[in-house]
Structure 1
Amino acid sequence: MIPEPIGEPPAPGAFSGLDWVRVVLRGTLLTLVTFGCLALLLLVRLIERPIFGLRRPVTPYITQFVCRSAFVILGMGFATHGRPMTMKGAVVANHTSWLDIFTLNARKRIYYVSKAEVAEWPAIGWLARATGTVFIHRDPRQAASQKEMFVSRLMAGHKLMFFPEGTSTDGRRVLPFKPTLFQAFFEDRLRDQTHIQPVSVVYRAPEGQPATFYGWWGDTDFLSSLLKVLAARKQGRVDVYYHDPLRVADFDNRKTLSVAAETAVRSGLESYLLADQPIA
Structure 2
Amino acid sequence: MTGWLRAAVLLPVYLAVTAALIPVQAALVALKLPGAVLFPRFYHRLTCRLIGFDVDVVGTPVRDRPALFVSNHSSYLDISVLGSVIAGSFIAKSEVADWPLYGLLAKLQRTVFVKRERSRTAEQADEVARRLEAGDRLILFPEGTSNDGQRVLPFRTAFFSVADRRPGGRPLVVQPVSLAYTHVRGMPMGRKLRPSYAWYGDMDLAGHLWTALTLGPARVELVFHPPVTIDDFKDRKALARHCEQAVSAGVAQALQGRSTAALALIGQALAQRGPAVEGGALQVAEEDEPLDPQEIDAAEGDGTSEDVPA
Aligned match of 1:87 in 52, 60, 65? 65
- Corresponding residue SS for 1:168: coil
In the TM superposition, residue 164 of structure 1 has moved relative to its aligned partner by 0.9
On the 8 A contact 2:128/2:162 being kept in 1, the answer is yes
Bigger Cα displacement from structure 2, 182-191 vs 78-87: 182-191
Residue number in structure 2 paired with 1:19? 3
**Distance 1:208-1:46 versus aligned 2 partners, 3 A rule:** closer
Matching of residues 169-248 of structure 1 within 5 Å: 169-187=147-165, 192-206=170-184, 207=187, 210-211=190-191, 212=194, 213-232=196-215, 234-248=216-230
Q: May I ask how many residue pairs the two structures share in their alignment?
A: 256
Q: Secondary structure at the match of 2:149?
A: coil
**Superposed CA RMSD:** 2.3
Map 1:6-155 to 2 at 5 A. 18-48=2-32, 57-85=34-62, 86-139=64-117, 142-155=120-133
TM-score (structure 1 length as normaliser) = 0.83
Q: Which amino acid is the alignment partner of residue 79 of structure 1?
A: D
2:246 corresponds to: 264
- The higher-RCO structure (CA 8 Å, 6+ apart) is 1
Distance 1:115 1:190, change over 3 A: farther
Q: Which runs of 5+ in 1 are unaligned?
A: 1-16, 49-55
Single out whichever of 216-225 and 75-84 deviates more from structure 2. Answer: 216-225
Query: Aligned AA for 1:265?
Result: V
Alpha-carbon distance between aligned partners in 2 of 1:271 and 1:141, rounded to the nearest angstrom: 37
Report the AA paired with residue 156 of structure 1: A
Partners of 1:189 and 1:65 in 2: CA distance = 27
Deviation track 1:115-153 (CA, whole Å, cap 9, x = no partner) reads 112112221111111110001123455445433322221
Kept in 1, the 8 Å contact 2:70–2:176? The answer is yes
* TM-score, normalised by the number of residues in structure 2: 0.75
Runs ≥4 residues deviating over 6 A: 188-191
Q: Is the 8 A contact 2:166 2:172 kept in 1?
A: no
- Please say if residues 192 and 249 of structure 1, whose CA atoms lie closer than 8 Å, have aligned partners that are also in contact: no
Deviates more, 1:188-197 or 1:263-272: 188-197
Higher mean C-alpha deviation, range 97-106 or range 175-184: 175-184
| 3-state SS in 1 of match to 2:84 | helix
Given that 2:71 and 2:142 are in contact with CA atoms closer than 8 Å, whether structure 1 keeps it comes out as yes
Unaligned runs of 5+ in 2: 262-302, 304-310
Q: Counterpart in 1 of 2:233?
A: 251
Asked if the contact 1:185/1:191 (under 8 Å) is kept, the reply is no
1:36 Cα offset (Å): 1.4
